[in-house]
Every structure is written in C-alpha cells, then in structure tokens.
Structure 1
Amino acid sequence: MLCSKMMTLACSTAAIAITCPASAQDAATPPTNATETSSASVGIEDIVVTAQRRSENLQDVPIAVTAFSADAISTARIQSFNDLATRIPGFSVNTFSQSRANPALRGGSTSLSAPGAEQAIGLFIDDVYFGGSGDFEIDLFDVERIEVLKGPQGTLFGRNTTGGLINVVTKTPTQELQAQGEVSMGNYDYFQVRGYLAGGLTDTLAGSIAFTSSDRDGTSFNSFTGNRVDTINRSSVRGKLAWAPSDSVNIVLGAGYSRVNETAPARDAIFTGVPIENQALLATGFVPDNDPRVVQMWTDGSYKSEQFTASLHVTKELGDANLLSITSYRNLRTQQSPISLAGVTTPVYDFGEPRELDAASQEFRYISDYSGPFNFVGGVFLYYANESRDLNGIAQWEENTVGGYFQSLTLCPLQNPDELVVSQACKDNYASLFEPSNFRVFQRTKTKSASAFLQGNYELTDSLKLTLGGRYTYDKKSATGFSSGDLEFFWHPADILVDDSESWGQFTYRAAVDWKVTDDILLYASRSTGFRSGAYELTQSDPALSAVPVGPEKVLSHEVGFKSRLFNDMIQFNVAVFHAKYTDLQFFVNTGDASVTTNAGQATVKGIEIDAVVAPVRGVTLSAAYSYQKGSSKGIPVQAEIADGTPPAGTIPHTIVLGADFEHEFANGSAVFLHGDFTHKSRYGLEFNDTPQFRSGVKSMINGSIGYRFANKMELRIWGKNLTNENVVTYGQNFWFAFYSLPTALANPDVITKTAQPRYADPRTFGATLSFKF
C-alpha cells in the first residue's frame, strides 16, 4: 500500500514537471553553466568555480564548464556518476561492473582497464586523483560543488586528460555551526541515511564529520538462484579539520573511508534469430522471457571494496600570492568473484578482477594575485601508484559452438582448418579443451610521474586577455605479471610472464584569448593539447603483445565560445563550438575471436554545446541544454575490425536536457517546491566498434520531485527517477559464439547481431526523503 501511494505521488510529480518546460540549474539538475537561484530574488545567481585553479565567476572562465551547486546536487539526487551522466549533454559512462567504469566526453574515452591504464576523463575529489577504471564507483556526498571541465586539461591539473575532467569539491568546516541530516525510503526496500555536522572546536580550529549509508534490494530477479541482484549496500564517512594557526596560514586535514558489499550486476540474455532448440546445449535450462529485469544467471556474484583516502592542504598567504601544498594518499582494496557475463545458467566466459591500489601525490602550487596586468599559476606535481589486478576467470567452450571451434583452431594441432566444426580427433584426444576451465591473469603496474606546470594570463586591455600555459610530464611505468591455469583461446592461449618498464615524456599546452565585450558578454577562443600516458595490458590473445606497452594517446583541441548574462541576470545563454583530433588511439578490441590492445589510428570529433537558463520571475527557473557531436576515425589496424568512419566510444550525436524548477515561499517561512527534468540521448556506441550489442541511448527519461519545507527547516520531498521506466543499456555483451555452431551462424546471420547480454541502468525508482538543516 505504501509503495502504491508513493508511486502515485511520484507519477503526479512527473506530470507537474512536464507542464513546466525547462529547468533551473541550481535548483536542480540540468547542466547549465552558471546556476544558482533563490526564491528570495529574481535572476540567476553566480557560481564561483576553480576551473583555472583560482576562484572565478563561472561566466568569466574561457572554458566550457558545467557546474552543479550543493543545492542542485541535492534537488536532483546526484549521488553517482551515472546520475551525473544523464544531466550533462554529450557525457556518458559505460559500466561493465563495479570494478570497471569508463566515462566519455567529446570523443575522449577508453576501454583499457588494466592497472596503470588511465581514463580519458580525470576525476579529482578535493585534489585527490582518481584515474583508473575502478575509481568511478563511489558515492557523491557532502559535496559543495561539482565542476565538469570539457576538452583536454593539459596544464593546471595533476594528471593529463584528453576528454575532460570532473572536479569534486566537498565542504570545508568553518566556525559556524552547521548540521543537516536526511532519511530516505523508496521502492525495492530502499533505505538511506545521510548526515553532516560542522563547527568550531576552538578559536582557530574547526571540524566536520559527514556520512552516508545506502541499502537497497536488487532491481533484477535471478530466477535461477531465487535472489535479487544489482543490489546496493554501501556506506562512507569523511572527516575534516580546518586549522588557522595564524592570519596567513590555513591547514585542512581530510580523511575518508568507504565500504561496499553488493551482488554482481544483472545481465539479461537475449537469443534471437533461430529457435531455442537449435542453440547449443550450453543454454539448456534457459527459458526465454521478455522481462529485462528477470535474469537467469548461474551465480549472483559478489563485489566488496574498502577505500581509505587522506589529504593535507596547507596554504600560506604571501600578501600578493598564495603558496599551496597538497599531499594525498589513497588505498583501495576490492574483492570480486567471477560474474556471469553471458546471463545463462552455466558458466560460459566469466571473470572477476579484484584490485589493490596504493597511491600518493604531492603538489606545490603558487597562485599569484598581483595588482598589475599579469598573473599566473605554477607548480610541480609528483605522483606514485602501485596498482594490481588479479583477474580470475571461468570459461567453457562447448565443442558444438563457434567458441569450441576457435578453441580447437587455437589449441588443437589435429584440427583441420578447412572444417567448420571441431574435428573428431580433437574431441577424442583433447577433450579437456571443451570442459570447464579456470585461468588467472595477474598484473601489477607501478607508476612514477613528475610534472611541472605554468599558466599565466596577461590583460592586453581592460577587456582583452591572453592566456598561455604549459606542462611537461614524465611518466615511468613498470609492469610485472603472469597468466596461468587452463588454456583457452580468448584471453589465455598460453602462459605468459612479463617484467618490463617504459617511460614517456610529453609537453602539453593551452593558448586562449578572451574578450569581455561588455560586463555580461564574454567571447573566447582556445587551442589546447592533452595526452593519456602509456599502459601495459596483459590480457591479450597474442601473448607476445602482452609485454609491449601501449603508447600515449594525444589530442589537439580547438574551441570557440560565447557566454552571456542578459536582462538583469534573467537570461543566461552560453555556446561552445569545438574540434578535437586524437592521434595514436589507445583501445582494447574484442573481435569475437580475439582480444587485442592496440595504439594506432586517429579520430576526429567536432560539435556544439548550447545551454540556456531563464529566471523570468521569482521562484521560477527554466533551463535547456543541447549537444551535437560528430565523430569519425581512420587508420585503425585491420585486425581490430573497425571500419573507417567509426566514431569513438561515447560519441553521442544529439543530447537534449530540459529542466524546470518552481519554489514559492509563504509568509511564515515555509515553502513548496517542484522540480522536473527530461533527458534524450540519440543512439551511440558504448565501445569503439559498430557492434549492435554495444549501442545505447535514452529516448525520454524523466526525473521529478515535489516537496514542502517547514518553517523550522524540516523538509519533506517525494521524488522519482527514470519515471518513464526506460531500459537504458550501460554495457553490452556479444557471446553469440558461445551458443551457436558455425554452420548455424552462417545460415542465420541474425544470431550475430541480435544475440546479446546487456546490463541496464536502474529502472523506475521512487521514494520520500525527510531532512533537516540548520
């Protein structure tokens, strides 16, 4: 009964939201470049960001940036990077599992997941670098601001990125007493509690503590085990101490801990093209159904993690400059059992990839504040990481499948290559090739990096400014590892042993000019470069390639932009046009009969990003954002089976995000508020290939909330996510070769393009949140 009533309220919220086209950015979700509104004033308030490593009004920064304030994050319930992805045009995240998430923006993406491989989109949380594929499965809580910088960031941030950067700033305590807390309940037995307490401890010392804990039953049902999967069970805590021993020195010490204990993701097996009786015996016991939230996996799987982070910020004011020292440490340990990739009742090709990471960084930064026309930011950044992945796999290639045939071609010397089925001689003499097998691929990569950077701006006139910046980065990576266990053609055709190292040096730069046409209009143009460091990937079909590192990937980007505030801050309209050219592409390719990591070819992505915010009257904010991206590639090695013209992963042709917020405050200080947002993303590739199973998109996703704030600052909010209940693919699998014989596949080509094992984003969720704040 409770869920039924909550469902009615959530759907009513969606209906109300639709009647108000567009949205407020602060009050909510949609990505607009400066957005804070208040029911007490008319117009769009400013957001201060640190995209150029100094505090600036977002509208004065000559970079395309999407920023979310603390209120916007809370209203939109942005609690993960998947939540963030639906609200930023052109941005996407594909999630293979909790240990592997790959974000993409402006053509910058990666499919490499080995230890030491770095993302095209960098993540910094309070200046602590998170750069691996297992680093994006974290809670966003206690957040003061999120800044998404678009395009390569090759000068001011510690690790270079090619597609963009996410800068998360959490709250720092002051002497003012602050307390807030909330309890949320929803469908799938969702329960979450969050809290924050901060204030002065002495005249010079302030402290804070923040925590979040979330628990939810799985959104999919595994009919084979009788359990729910895609569960949530995680908690995090973060504490800070801010000490001001003198008027010119500030010290902030932060530490955080998080834990996760969840099932594996659900994968829905889809078989089409030929009748079920013509499929391989491996799928015996599988009963076709049309419900994507009912799966038949042989195991529920498990994922556990513990993470500890610590940082120390010391700021010394020098009168006309600030000298900043940032020290950080991060420790991550994960456990993951083999997870079902094929979504059937027996193992086909499944693996888990537990990871361990110890990383430390030290940065010294000098930020000038001179009275003259020239100012700059410069410094050095040192980084060390020791990361390992212990991949453990289970594979079974039935002799009457295409997988069994490739198994025989690879490992059975008696196989006749002219035959389209496994030879009888291989069946008789190499029977173990077609039995369940276990294998292990262990890799450890140590990264040592040092860089020096300097970026300055010179005011040519009162309204015209020139910016020039550069960074030189030196990276050295050492890889050790091995593979062992039963042989199989896909990832373990032979035992390997690797002990190798390689180093790279790269100079990157940024040049920009901006013209403040009026106090409310900014024009700018920029040219910038970035790179992703090289990496080792031991999990390749050709063992000889495992000891050969993939070299750096480089990007050259041009951007022209326009930012404006009009009609007394009632309208904000921003446009950015970009062209990015990537060379020496890094990518991992699964061709169906092989796995290859390579470093070749080039890609071009160009597009336009438009966002607008309108605050016509007090308490009403409407927003709209649009992104167009067009990508192509060429020069990819033939063995990768990527045709010329294929766009890089995550290149979304069209994205539309609309939002609306309304708030009315009553005379007694209470208020009622509404929020709604709409997202559409046209079809795009999750990976760098043309495989249909790796296509995704969002037709029309609607989120909404309605709430009431009492005069005593208590607040009740009814909310709903994905109210249209879309099945959005966050990752695809294509194991057709594990279920059909080669003659069957040749006679029924549809089995290749239509057999799939997708992973979906959350379905419709809804609930209620009771909170307080003072």
Structure 2
Amino acid sequence: MRHLLCAASLIALTSSAYAQEGAVRPGHAAVSTAGDVDAGQIGLPEITVTARRRVEDAQRIPGSLSVVGGELLDRSYTVNTQQLSQLVPSLNYSSANPRNTAFTIRGLGSSVVAVSQANDGLEPGVGFYVDQVYHARPATAAFDFSDIGQVEVLRGPQGTLFGKNSTAGAINMTTRAPTFTPEATEEITVGSFNFVQAKAAASGPITDTLAFRISGVATRRDGVIDNVRTGRDQNQIGNQAVRGQLLFKPSEMFQVKLSADFTNFQSNCCTQVYYRVATRDVPRTATRQFAGPTGLAAQFNYTPPSTNPYDRVTDIDASLGVDTNEGGVAAIADWTLGGATLTSVSAWRFWNWDAANDRDYTGIPIQIEQHIPSRQDQYSQELRLASNGDHALSYVGGLYFFRQRVEGRPISIYGPAAARYLIGTTTGANATPVPANLLDGYGTDGRTDFQSNSYAAFGEVNWRPVDRLTLTGGLRYTYEHKTGTYDTFVFGGPATTSPALVTARLGILRGQTYAAKVNDGALTGRANIAWQATDTVLGYASYARGEKSGGINMSGLPLNDQNLPALGTAVVRPEKNTAYEVGLKTRLFDNRLTFNVDAFYTRVTDFQTNVSDTRAAAALRTYLANIPRVTSKGVEADAVAAVTRDFSLRASVAYADGKYDRYPTGPCPIELIGNTAASCNLSGTGLPGLPKWSATVGGDYVLPVETLGGSLIAHADANYRSKQFGDPTGSRFTTIGSYTVVNGSVGYRNSKGWELAVFARNLFDRDYIQNVTIQAGNSGLILATPSDPRTIGLTFRAHQ
C-alpha cells in the first residue's frame, strides 16, 4: 500500500491520470480523450460501447463494466492482456506460459492452478471476444495487442447477449476498423533488455464503397531470467502479428467486413525460479523433502543457483522453448431493416501449440522432456437481430452455433535421477530396493481428441413502462454435445518383473485409455430493473443465472493400484452460477465527474476446476473436478474526473471476498501431504488468484506549448493488489504477497502528428511474484515467476 500512496502522490504532482476513453460508432472504432474536447469546454466525452450488442452510452447501461480505449492502451504501454489487468482491478490474469493462461473476474472463471497443464476439456468462464468472434482457448489471449480500438470488460453472466455462454464475464475487444479517409500510423519503441517493438497501420478507400485496413506488430526482448548452466537468457519475448480488413459499404443500410489475422510467438520461454520450500505439518520421511541436511537436494549434492527469486536465475537442464501461433478469418455483415439491424458473424479460427519444458525446474535430470503439441480448430456462426434507436421497447435476439476440435499429444520422459527423486531408495511394504535407473528413459506418449458442438438461442428485451423506469428480461437456451478420448501408453525404462517396482513405476506414469461424452441442455437468463432517477443518475438491480455445461478430463485421471478411477471421473457436472448485483452510475458537476459503484454476490454450485491428487504416493497429477459450492461477494467503484480541459484523473477499486463455501473433500495443502487422510476440508478457504483488495489510480495531462508548436504530455498509472493464494488448496507456502506496480511516460506531441516519449514500466523496480507452481513429485519445492524488472524505453509515434 505504501507504493500505491507514493504512486498517487506522483500522479498528482505530474497531473497524470486516466483520460476518459472514447466512443465506438457503427463501422468505426474511434477514441477521444479529455484533451480532445473543444476549447473552453471542460467535461468528459461520452463513452459508447457495444456490450449489449448495440451502440449505447456506457453510463446508461445497468450493469458493471470497465472500458479501456485504444489511446489509453498506447499511452500506458499496455501491450497484452496481462498488462490490461493492471488497468482493470476486477480482472485477474495468470500465465506460467501461454498455454496455461487463465482469466478470472471477481475470482471466477478459468482455474488458476499451481501444478497443471491446461485441460482442454475445461471451458473458460470468462469469454474472450475479438471483433465479436469468440476465442475458445484462453492461450490465444496471451499474444500482443494489434491495432486495438477499445476493450470492454463485462462482469457477471453474459449468456443473454453473447453467442457463447460466459458465466463469469467477458472481455470484448474491438480492433480499429477500415476508414474511407486515408490514414496511417507508425510506431517504434526501444528499451531495456534489448526491447524492440514496431507497430504500423494503414487505412483508406479502394473505391467509393470499399475500404481497407492493414496493421501489424512485432516485439522482441531478451530474457529476464539467466540460466547459469547454459549461459542463455530465458523467458524471452518474440512475437509478431498481422491483420488485414476489407469493408464493403454500398449504402448506409448494408455493410460487410472481411478480416484475416495471424499471430506468432516463438521464444526461449517459459520457466520459473526457486521460491521457497514447504515444510510438512505431519510426520513424513525426512529424505523426501527437498531441503534439509538429508533432503533431496543434499542427496544429489545439489544447490539451487539462488534461493532469492528476485535474483532471476535458474539452472534448468532440459530443453526450453515455445512455438505457438493462431489466426483465422471472419465475415461480419450488417443489414439495417427499418427499426432493427440484422447481423451475421461467421468465423473460422485455429491455434497451434508446442513447447518444451523442464517440469522439475532444477538442474537435476529428473524430467528430461515434457510437452503437449496441440492443434485447435473452431467454427462459429451467429445471427443476431437488434433494435435501433431509443424506444420504449428494445431488444436483442440471436442464434449461435459453435464447433471446436482440440487434438493433442502429451509427451513426458523421465531422466536418470527420477527414480531416486520421485520414489526413493526403497519402495513397498517390504522395502524393495529401487534401482537408480528405474525411470531413466521411462515415458508416456499418446493422443487426445476433444470435440464440442454448441447450439444456442438467446434474447433480451428492455421495456420502459413509464418514463425513467426500464425492466429487462433475457433468456438463453444452450445445448452442447462434447466427446473426448484420451489414449496414452508408456515406454522405455529398464525391464523389471518385481511387482513392487512395477507398482512404483506405474505410480509415476501409466498408460490410460478412456472415452467420454457430454450431452447437456440448459435454460438460463437474467432480470434487471433500472431507474434513471435524473438525467445523470442511474440506479439498477439485477439477477442472473448462468450455466457451463459438463466438462471432460483431457489431462488424464489419477488412478489407484487397480488401474481404476479413484479420485476423479472422466466427466464433471455442469457448473451453475447465480448472481445478484446492485449499482449506481452518476455524472456530476456538469459532466466533469463520473462515479460508479456496485455491490455483487455470486454463488456457484458444482464449480468446475482443476485439482491435484495430493495422496502421498501420487505425483501430483491434475484433473477436472467439481467443487460443491463457491461464493464471491464484494464492492467495486470507479471514478473519472476532468479537473481541467487538459487534466483528468481516474481511480478504480475492487473488494472481493471469494471462497470455497462448501468443499469438504478437497485436495490437501502441501504442508499436510502425508497425512492419513486422502482429502482435506477446504470449506472457507479463499479462492486462488483473487486479492481481496485491488486498486488502480492514474491519468493524463496535456500542456500546450505554442512556441514549440505542440504539447508536452504526461501519463502515469499505479496498480495495487493485496496478498492472494497461489494455489487452490490455500497453502501458506504458495501465498503471493501484496504489491504495487507504477508505470509512467513523459513526452512531446507535435501538432503535425508525431510524438516522442520516454516511458517506464515498473518504474520503482518493484519485486513481486506473478504466479507459483508446486513441483510435481511432492518434494515440497515451490517455484515462481518473478516480476519483470523495470523497463525504460523511448517511443516515436507518427500519425498521418
């Protein structure tokens, strides 16, 4: 909190905070700021959004949402979704690597897990949309932004408005659209760690009815973690993206936009570093612990390169690297039919993933190869009819079809130290000696295939029975059919006929084959009452029900010695979400201040999440399961003030109390592994990845300097997050401490359209932990991804 107060003072002194971001108009994504207001006028420009699938003033939408415009993304050097969470307190982001990306809103959504690979059979609870197209895999949101016009973060169930059901919320991203007026932008940035980023976009007419837009971004940065074994820097950044669009608009009544995009990420990434070692609260053989005079590290005469995670060093000895890409094509057509607009959204997208990892994160040759080459394809078609104008009765209705297929090949191979590290020197009741090479070369290979078809009809009606009172009702029916097959086999390792050794080896890896299917239908909906008390004050209350269909375990199941499912099944039950919210939206002081506040309570039954088998003999295999009941409640508030025509301030705060309301048979925290119980009562434990308090302050200041023919500009923002659990068990050893991150920039903007600025991200070089991982094998070793060090750079932008 001290850093947040310091940052607030800095922002006040430099007159910097967020400018209110601008408006999305039909067929165009434009952004205005407080500095764009006409001379002599002091006030905040109207924000228009498409959260309810028609263009509306954000302050008249009876629901909680945050809006970040493209200019703010540029000024704050927010280049990806992880950094977006620093501007939106209720949005939480975790990513040990792109495949393991997870979003949560108010603590709900995709599970944040300390030991897992992403499970392809788990649908995200936070929907991610780009230009109205749903992206099914959260990993596709880990790439850098390219030519973004506006981002809307909607909180709570969104099933009555969006094609795909989103139970926790949605991130609705809009790219800048083609224009019939020629324009071009160029940007080049250089900074610390050899950071280089280039952006460019061009738009203009081809004919009187056809316009184009093309944009691209390329980013390079050296790694911030040093591998003292190989001499290489790890966790580099290396990605590029390109997007092309064509807008055909023969009349004001009809338009169609075609788009194609491709994004690629290739780098020596992603690893973690030593964080701490968990000690157990129950008796356990001392030599199974990582640390200590007779612990695992001592047995291998191994010393971590550092026990301070902020030294940012590692000594991993296995291959490391990420090679992933995604892209697709889309066609969006809009027909104005009198008082309504008919919209068709057709899209095909793909995602390819491959990465090499050292999953033991040490210089000990325990696991020498681990990766899951994957391919995802998705097809979607949405037809939507939305009323136009402001009338006593307005509506949105639509039909939606979505199909995806994800094929994977889970590969894992152990090395010469694995047997002693994961099993020990003896095994079984008779203390059978374990050969040192029992797991050397022992591995698994196979195929996974997950497919899903989703069909939905949705609609929402707004009725204004009397002036200033609006009643809203929405319904959605979803039917989903899913199938999944998991087929793996083991290979390698020395031959053995000893039953004890066979059992011990199968306790680390064994082949599994199973198939499952899900057929679910659900009717969900929401109701809302809104009262426009005055032209500038809106109050509302809402109730919503959402549901996520059953999921299929696509990462394997924990098995007992009889090779039968023990702690999980292949199919998990549907997740049901009930949400209540009340809120107030205001414009005050002649539109110089907006202040919004809301309170929410959400109850989820059969919450779908990844959990870990923490029995003493297990190797921490993760799988999908249902948690009986989860609740999240809290209060959120945000304010934007136009102090002068050129100076605006913005602040947001979120308090969230999320916990397992009822979870009597959960996995045990690592400090309790080895107890006689196979499960622990986690009822009352806080949700992982959810700080109770998070806040953002910041803003912008523009100082015209006539003698220079331009303006001096300043921006700063600060984000505070209180401590949070790093894994689903609430282990005290995975707790992530509170932190504050401050970013800022100062520059000169010429009236001819160019700008030169110096920027800093993590200005005060704050050390903090982004996410944690428990090392597989129950050794007690905890790994973490440390924060990026301070980055200072120089940016040149030009606009024609």
Paired amino acid for 1:714: W
> Structure 1 residues 465 and 97 mapped into 2: Cα distance closer, same or farther (>3 Å)?
same
Q: Does the CA-based 8 Å contact 2:414-2:439 persist in structure 1?
A: no
Q: Distance in 1 between matches of 2:306 and 2:459?
A: 60
CA RMSD of aligned residues (A): 2.6
Give the equivalent residue in structure 1 for 2:475. 470
Q: Does the CA-based 8 Å contact 1:69-1:146 persist in structure 2?
A: yes
Q: Distance in 1 between matches of 2:324 and 2:231?
A: 25
Q: Distance in 2 between matches of 1:191 and 1:716?
A: 15
Q: Secondary structure at the match of 1:135?
A: helix
String of CA shifts for 1:213-261, please: whole Å, max 9, x gaps. 0111111111111100110111000000000133421010011011111
Give the equivalent residue in structure 2 for 1:47. 47
Q: Secondary structure at the match of 2:766?
A: coil
* Structure 1 residue 304, shift from structure 2 partner: 0.6
Unaligned runs of 5+ in 1: 1-11, 29-33, 410-414, 417-422, 740-751
> Structure 1 residues 493 and 277 mapped into 2: Cα distance closer, same or farther (>3 Å)?
closer
Segment of structure 1 superposing worse, 133-142 or 510-519? 133-142
Q: Secondary structure at the match of 1:643?
A: coil
Any residues of structure 2 matched to 1:293-692 within 5 Å, and which? 293-299=312-318, 301-348=320-367, 351-369=370-388, 372-395=391-414, 403-405=422-424, 415-416=428-429, 424-427=431-434, 433-440=438-445, 442-486=447-491, 493-538=509-554, 539-542=556-559, 544-545=564-565, 548-592=570-614, 593=618, 594-595=620-621, 596-641=623-668, 643-667=682-706, 669-692=709-732
Q: Secondary structure at the match of 2:233?
A: strand
Q: Distance in 1 between matches of 2:144 and 2:592?
A: 34
> Structure 1 residues 276 and 52 mapped into 2: Cα distance closer, same or farther (>3 Å)?
farther
Segment of structure 1 superposing worse, 92-101 or 561-570? 92-101
Q: Does the CA-based 8 Å contact 2:366-2:418 persist in structure 1?
A: no
Give the equivalent residue in structure 1 for 2:96. 96
Q: Distance in 1 between matches of 2:507 and 2:181?
A: 57
String of CA shifts for 1:96-145, please: whole Å, max 9, x gaps. 21211011111313338222421121100011211324222122121110
Q: Does the CA-based 8 Å contact 1:702-1:722 persist in structure 2?
A: yes
Q: Does the CA-based 8 Å contact 1:36-1:46 persist in structure 2?
A: no
Give the equivalent residue in structure 1 for 2:740. 700
Q: Does the CA-based 8 Å contact 2:453-2:480 persist in structure 1?
A: yes
Q: Does the CA-based 8 Å contact 2:8-2:698 persist in structure 1?
A: no
> Structure 1 residues 88 and 525 mapped into 2: Cα distance closer, same or farther (>3 Å)?
same
Any residues of structure 2 matched to 1:182-197 within 5 Å, and which? 182-197=187-202
Unaligned runs of 5+ in 2: 1-5, 23-30, 112-116, 280-290, 492-501, 669-680
Give the equivalent residue in structure 2 for 1:152. 157
Q: Does the CA-based 8 Å contact 1:270-1:757 persist in structure 2?
A: yes
* Structure 1 residue 16, shift from structure 2 partner: 5.1
1:37 to 28, 34, 39: 34
Give the equivalent residue in structure 1 for 2:238. 233
* Structure 1 residue 481, shift from structure 2 partner: 2.1
Q: Distance in 2 between matches of 1:535 and 1:51?
A: 27
TM-score, structure 2 normalization = 0.86
Q: Distance in 2 between matches of 1:250 and 1:360?
A: 22
String of CA shifts for 1:563-617, please: whole Å, max 9, x gaps. 0110111111110100000100112112443434211310111000011111111
Q: Distance in 2 between matches of 1:527 and 1:315?
A: 31
> Structure 1 residues 282 and 587 mapped into 2: Cα distance closer, same or farther (>3 Å)?
farther
Q: Distance in 2 between matches of 1:525 and 1:20?
A: 39
> Structure 1 residues 617 and 186 mapped into 2: Cα distance closer, same or farther (>3 Å)?
same
* Structure 1 residue 283, shift from structure 2 partner: 6.2
Q: Does the CA-based 8 Å contact 1:584-1:600 persist in structure 2?
A: yes
Paired amino acid for 1:666: V
Give the equivalent residue in structure 2 for 1:724. 764
Paired amino acid for 2:650: S
> Structure 1 residues 738 and 472 mapped into 2: Cα distance closer, same or farther (>3 Å)?
closer
* Structure 1 residue 636, shift from structure 2 partner: 2.2
* Structure 1 residue 277, shift from structure 2 partner: 6.7
Q: Secondary structure at the match of 1:598?
A: strand
* Structure 1 residue 397, shift from structure 2 partner: 8.9
Q: Does the CA-based 8 Å contact 1:269-1:757 persist in structure 2?
A: yes
Give the equivalent residue in structure 2 for 1:24. 18
Give the equivalent residue in structure 2 for 1:767. 793
Paired amino acid for 1:155: T
Paired amino acid for 2:109: S
Q: Secondary structure at the match of 2:434?
A: helix
Q: Distance in 2 between matches of 1:629 and 1:424?
A: 50
> Structure 1 residues 672 and 469 mapped into 2: Cα distance closer, same or farther (>3 Å)?
same
Paired amino acid for 2:765: N
Q: Secondary structure at the match of 1:99?
A: helix
Q: Does the CA-based 8 Å contact 1:21-1:658 persist in structure 2?
A: no
String of CA shifts for 1:347-374, please: whole Å, max 9, x gaps. 3486322220110100000012267511
Q: Distance in 2 between matches of 1:558 and 1:215?
A: 44
Q: Distance in 2 between matches of 1:312 and 1:403?
A: 52
Give the equivalent residue in structure 2 for 1:62. 62
Q: Does the CA-based 8 Å contact 1:209-1:239 persist in structure 2?
A: yes
Q: Does the CA-based 8 Å contact 1:572-1:612 persist in structure 2?
A: yes
Paired amino acid for 1:636: Y
Paired amino acid for 1:554: K
Q: Does the CA-based 8 Å contact 1:301-1:336 persist in structure 2?
A: yes
Matched, 1:284 2:272: no
Q: Distance in 1 between matches of 2:44 and 2:366?
A: 55
Q: Does the CA-based 8 Å contact 1:101-1:137 persist in structure 2?
A: yes
> Structure 1 residues 727 and 277 mapped into 2: Cα distance closer, same or farther (>3 Å)?
farther
* Structure 1 residue 292, shift from structure 2 partner: 3.2
> Structure 1 residues 93 and 324 mapped into 2: Cα distance closer, same or farther (>3 Å)?
same
Segment of structure 1 superposing worse, 264-273 or 175-184? 264-273
Paired amino acid for 2:170: L
* Structure 1 residue 70, shift from structure 2 partner: 1.4
String of CA shifts for 1:312-358, please: whole Å, max 9, x gaps. 01111111111111101101112212334424343348632222011
Matched, 1:269 2:269: no
> Structure 1 residues 693 and 330 mapped into 2: Cα distance closer, same or farther (>3 Å)?
farther
Paired amino acid for 1:256: D
Q: Does the CA-based 8 Å contact 1:366-1:378 persist in structure 2?
A: yes
* Structure 1 residue 728, shift from structure 2 partner: 3.0
Q: Does the CA-based 8 Å contact 1:211-1:237 persist in structure 2?
A: yes
Q: Does the CA-based 8 Å contact 1:665-1:672 persist in structure 2?
A: yes
Q: Secondary structure at the match of 1:134?
A: helix
TM-score, structure 1 normalization = 0.89
Q: Distance in 2 between matches of 1:233 and 1:183?
A: 15
String of CA shifts for 1:610-629, please: whole Å, max 9, x gaps. 11111111211111111111
* Structure 1 residue 711, shift from structure 2 partner: 2.3
Q: Secondary structure at the match of 1:662?
A: strand
Q: Distance in 2 between matches of 1:21 and 1:663?
A: 9
Paired amino acid for 2:34: T
Q: Secondary structure at the match of 2:423?
A: helix
Aligned residues: 730
Q: Does the CA-based 8 Å contact 1:652-1:682 persist in structure 2?
A: yes
Q: Distance in 2 between matches of 1:510 and 1:680?
A: 33
> Structure 1 residues 157 and 460 mapped into 2: Cα distance closer, same or farther (>3 Å)?
same
